[in-house]
Amino acid sequence: MSSETLIYIILAGIVALLLALFQYKYKSKSASQSVALFTFLRFLTLFSVFLLLINPKFEQVKYYTEKPNLVIAVDNSASLKHLKQDKKAKQALEVLQKNSDLNGKFNIEVFSFGKTINTKDSLLFNEQQTNLDKAFKELTQVYKNTISPTILITDGNQTFGNDYQFSANKYKQPIYPVVLGDTLTFSDLKISRLNVNKYAYLKNKFPVEAIVVYNGNENITSKFVVTKGNSTIFSKPINFTKTKNAEVLNFTLPANTVGVQSYRAQIVPVSTEKNKTNNYKNFAVEIIDQKTKIALVSTVLHPDLGALKKSIESNEQREVVFLKPNQVLNQLNDFQLVILYQPNNTFKSLFKSLEQQNTNKWIITGPKTDWRFLNGESPLYSIDISSQTEDYQPNFNSNYSSFIVEGLDFESFPPLLSNFGEPSFNTPYETLLYKTVSGIKTEEPLLATLETNGRREAILFGENLWKWRAQSYLNKESFLDFDNFTGKLVQYLASNKRKNRLNVDYNSFYNGSDNIIISAQFFNKNYEFDNSESLSILLKNKETGKKETRPLILKGNSYQADLNSLTAGSYGFTVSVNSESISTSGNFKIIEYNVEQQFLNADVTKLQQIATNSQGQAYFISNYDALATDLINDNRYKAIQKSNKSVVPLIDWYYLLFFIALTLALEWFIRKYKGLI
């Protein structure tokens, strides 16, 4: 409290006393006890009111004890059930949670993890992927400023994500792994890796690479076999010894039939093997009869060109060829789409040929674009010519109807650079991305598509697409989302198929460990996205004939069906609009493969390493009881007494109002009782 406030309080006391004396003592000239009592009560009332007006502030210090956290993260993946460790994991968790000494020393918080980490509700051990890397990264964000030793109940086998040793090193908490699984070494043959392209071309041969690993001490002979149905299409004998414990097989298979072709690769097991699930892998290849060729035409060098080629060719069905404007003229019929990057006057003949042949195109503009030329060549749109440039950030149009767009956080993307000016269109167009300038969203298109005379065209007003692809990787640690977006735009532009009110997005086949999602968009008669419709999907297993119907759930700007619970097999489906007779059908195949069943042992070495690096300790499930004792006796984990200092104004003390009301009431009742009122 400041000295100035203290002076005001003293003055308030003096003024309150003088007013009370003036009212009762000066007027009555009496020295009775009643007058003294009335004077005292009035003084208290007036002084309290003056204090409220002055409103002094008081420092309030509260002390409390903060216990350290004890984080228990339990592996909820299917590998624990496969290794028959699920009951032991549940038992260990239950014992640790109910330990009264641990609860007295720590705040115990429990998580389960598979592909993601979640607060524990139930342990079903059915997660099809394990991503310990992501678990450590998310725990780092939650517990970065606390004392939080972490118990990790797991077999240490990861199937997805970066090596978790690196993320564990950044997790500044002691880690105590409880190792689940067999630590004994058995003779084991397994297909460690199988590399194959997703697509192949009819009448060609496609390459396959298989890495076969042997774990054992004896000399053995086995055979690697690839079958299609009941037919063996490749086989090779393999010999292993204790020192020669791996072999890389490279071979080719014929592509004779269009469509999804399923294969099974197997290394014949030896009699002493304990885990035979990892001896085989199913894979599939989609055989297509032609490749989409795309010409990327430019006279300037820019990182966008390489980023576009990488992004488009991430789909093996597509091929991008770099050409100059004069080089593409004689081979224009070979391409299904032409991308014109920052065109200038040298593109004049090419524009004329594209117009004559009614070829689809994608124009990307930027500061190096010759807008005088482009305005003269394109009757469909133009822009005011300006030498000034501007940064434009993207703003996604959720009502875009030509194809499904999902998975990209456009608002996090860096701006594109282009000429300042508002484009104008002379034909109907659809905006995929709007411009955002200095944080202000506009109705000007940044990326637009249009269809005229059976020809499709897109125009992007800005360069530096390579930054978008880089940001997509920073957001998701993968280029996949951006490449899918580019692929869908290219697929739309390379096709002249008529627009439908119901669009369905799916793959022709999925591996058993993939995330199986089918997405759909439905548009009203004005081709505006309808988010109030009810959609359903009818699934039929072609092997068993079993049918089931599931609803599609609205998520963002699309309807989605999560089909991860489906078993391996071939399926036909029909997506239907429940209120109208509109539907779309298709087929897909789920390839049998459970990555969580490929493990025979716990990864003891890696778990012990992260324990040592974090100043923790590893325990086996057989002696985890010692873990509780060690944590309780560890002097690093002590409760900390903390104080919370706050400044409280007097006006917040609501009981002072009750005190004022009480003094006034007492004064009134006493005067009433004595007949002075």
Which range has the worst mean pLDDT, 123-127, 170-174, 252-256?
A: 123-127
Closest listed residue to residue 420, CA positions, set 437, 395, 439: 437
| For residue 269, pLDDT beyond 80 | yes
Q: Which of 288, 310, 334 is the last residue of a domain?
A: 288
User: Which residue's entry shows tokens 């894979």?
Assistant: 283
Task: Print the domain residue range for 421.
Answer: 292-493
pLDDT digits (tens, 9 = 90+) for 541-551: 998 999 999 99
Q: Tell whether the model's pLDDT for residue 213 goes beyond 70.
A: yes
Does 395 share its domain with 416?
Answer: yes
Q: Are residues 302 and 325 in the same domain?
A: yes
In 3D space, the residue among 330, 332, 322, 329 whose CA is nearest the CA of residue 301 turns out to be 322
Element (H, E) at 140: helix 132-142
| Of 66, 71, 116, 117, nearest in space to 97 by CA | 71
According to the model, what pLDDT value does residue 403 have? 80
Query: Residue 643: inside a domain, yes or no?
Result: no
Looking at the fold, whether 552 and 419 belong to one and the same domain comes out as: no
Q: What percent of the chain has pLDDT over 90?
A: 43
**Are 83 and 192 in a shared domain?**
no
What are the helix (H) ranges across 371-498? 371-377, 465-476, 480-493
Total tally of structural domains belonging to the chain: 5
Render pLDDT for 85-123 as a digit per residue (tens, 0 to 9). 889 999 999 999 999 999 999 999 999 998 889 887 678
Tell whether 350 is covered by a domain.
yes
Residues 482 and 558 in one domain: no
Residue 380, pLDDT above cutoff 80: yes
Least confident of 100-114, 505-519, 585-599: 585-599
> Per DSSP, what are the bridge partners of residue 70?
108
In this prediction, residue 90 carries a pLDDT of: 92
Q: Please check the confidence at residue 596 and state whether its pLDDT lies above 80.
A: no
CATH label of the domain that carries residue 541: 2.60.40.2950
Whether residues 331 and 283 share a domain: the answer is no
Q: Residue 627: which CATH number?
A: 3.40.50.410
Lowest mean pLDDT among 25-34, 377-386, 500-509: 25-34
User: Where residue 412 sits, what CATH number does that domain have?
Assistant: 3.40.50
Contact call for residues 113 and 104 (beta carbons, < 8 A)? no
652 Cβ neighbours under 8 A, 6+ residues apart? none
466 and 355 part of one domain: yes
241 and 196 part of one domain: yes
Q: Which residues of 281-294 are buried (b: 16+ CB within 10 A; e: fewer)?
A: bbbbbbbbeeebeb
The secondary structure of 267-280 as a DSSP string is EPPPTT-S--GGGE
331 is a domain residue: yes
Q: Are residues 437 and 423 in the same domain?
A: yes
Q: Average pLDDT in the 285-307 region?
A: 90
Whether residue 30 is predicted with pLDDT greater than 60 in this model: the reply is: no
Mean pLDDT (the chain) is: 87
What number is the average pLDDT over the span 219-236? Answer: 92
- 3-state SS class at 310: helix
396 and 481 together in one domain = yes
- CATH code for the domain of 234: 2.60.40.10
In a domain, 75, yes or no: yes
Q: How confident is the model at residue 558 (pLDDT cuts 50, 70, 90)?
A: confident
Q: Which residues contact 601 (CB under 8 A, 6 or more apart)?
A: 181, 182, 183, 184, 185
CB atoms within 10 A of CB 422: 12
Residue 199 CA to its chain's centroid (Å):
27
pLDDT for the residue 17: 84
Same domain membership, residue 475 and residue 351: yes
pLDDT given at position 184: 65
Q: Which of 241, 257, 288 is the last residue of a domain?
A: 288
Task: Give residue for tokens 């007492």.
Answer: 666
Instruction: Say whether both 323 and 398 belong to one domain.
Output: yes
Phi/psi of residue 36, nearest 5 degrees: -60, -40
* Per-residue pLDDT, 415: 94
600 has pLDDT over 80: no
Residue 664 domain-assigned? Answer: yes
In a domain, 273, yes or no: yes
**Of the candidates 493, 522, 549, which is a domain's last residue?**
493
The answer to the question of residue 599 being in a domain is: no
Q: What is the mean pLDDT of residues 494-499?
A: 72
Q: Give the separation between CA 499 and CA 191, rounded to whole angstroms.
A: 45
